[in-house]
Chains A and B, each alone.
Chain A
């Protein structure tokens, strides 16, 4: 695990928490959207909080996908739950809301769970030479297909093992 990989995992937690809260704040400003006025959803996107929230959730999705490319699902998921912890801490220290003892217990449990997983290997599935083949093989094929777009389809069938 490198610093770069840890920052991707941190991004997963931070972007999810920040995106959700911006979206929630923005949708409360936008007000209730009745079912027969669904086009108001489009107007809601003009709200800067909603637009910002969507952008952050896209950043979350990109970090999540990146983390899944080099780590197990059961390694990445606990990191996503750190987002709940960040939200509770933000509620306490930024918004000065009361955090109940049960919520502190929840924070403790999630942190303990993340600690348990982080101590082990990030990737446990067999990592055979096949992966290396998959990475190497399309290098030539893809640059060839860039120059000859018409032959894209037969090329992609070659990539599949």
Chain B
């Protein structure tokens, strides 16, 4: 029989997955904006400089760490809940969370077009990932 708090634990773990992935995506995005256009850098400076700049960026290291936290939270969530709930819920909520975070922290212009896209993609992923 399922323990009484299993649902609560599952949703807390899903929340942790979403939070950690959003933090990770925002940090990685910020890191790559600081590194600069990779195509441009590759053409002008070569692969070694690109790799060096990415690895030296503190936001990159923090972003990868956040992604690792997201991965282990996902393992926890999967150990408490069904994969048919956890995978689509975590994936689609991450899309919505990222739209908010990109607007607030990265100052991207999330206009109506992008909101509609985020909601459509989140709904579609929820249907496909289950």
Interface residues of A (CB under 8 A from B): 4-5, 64-66, 68-70, 72-75, 77-78, 81, 84-85, 87-88, 102-103, 105-114, 116-117, 119-120, 124-126, 131, 134-135, 138-139, 142, 156
**CB of A87, distance to nearest CB on chain B (Å):** 8
Contacts of A64 in B (CB 8 A): 28
Contacts of B38 in A (CB 8 A): 65-66, 69-70
Contacts of A75 in B (CB 8 A): 114
Instruction: State in angstroms the CA–CA spacing of A2 and B103 once bound together.
Output: 25
Select which of A73, A108, A109 is within 8 A of B102 by beta carbon: A73
Contacts of B99 in A (CB 8 A): 74
State whether A84 and B45 are in contact (beta carbons under 8 Å apart), knowing that A68-B33, A74-B110, A77-B25 are contacts in the complex: no
CB-based contact A142/B49 at 8 Å: yes
Counting chain A CB atoms within 10 Å of each CB, the highest count among B95, B120, B128 belongs to B128
Closest residue of chain A to B45, judged by CB? A139
CB-based contact A109/B123 at 8 Å: yes
Q: Please report whether the interface of chain A is mostly helix, strand, loop or mixed according to DSSP.
A: helix
Please count how many residues in chain B sit with their CB below 8 Å of the partner chain's CB atoms. 47
Select which of B54, B111, B120 is within 8 A of A120 by beta carbon: B111
Contacts of A72 in B (CB 8 A): 29, 102, 106, 108
Instruction: State in angstroms the CA–CA spacing of A69 and B29 once bound together.
Output: 7
Instruction: State in angstroms the CA–CA spacing of A85 and B110 once bound together.
Output: 24
**CB of A52, distance to nearest CB on chain B (Å):** 20
CB-based contact A68/B36 at 8 Å: no
Counting chain B CB atoms within 10 Å of each CB, the highest count among A78, A81, A102, A111 belongs to A81
Counting chain B CB atoms within 10 Å of each CB, the highest count among A69, A78, A105, A124 belongs to A69
Cβ < 8 Å to A, chain B residues 83-130 = 95, 98-99, 101-103, 106-111, 113-114, 116-121, 123-129
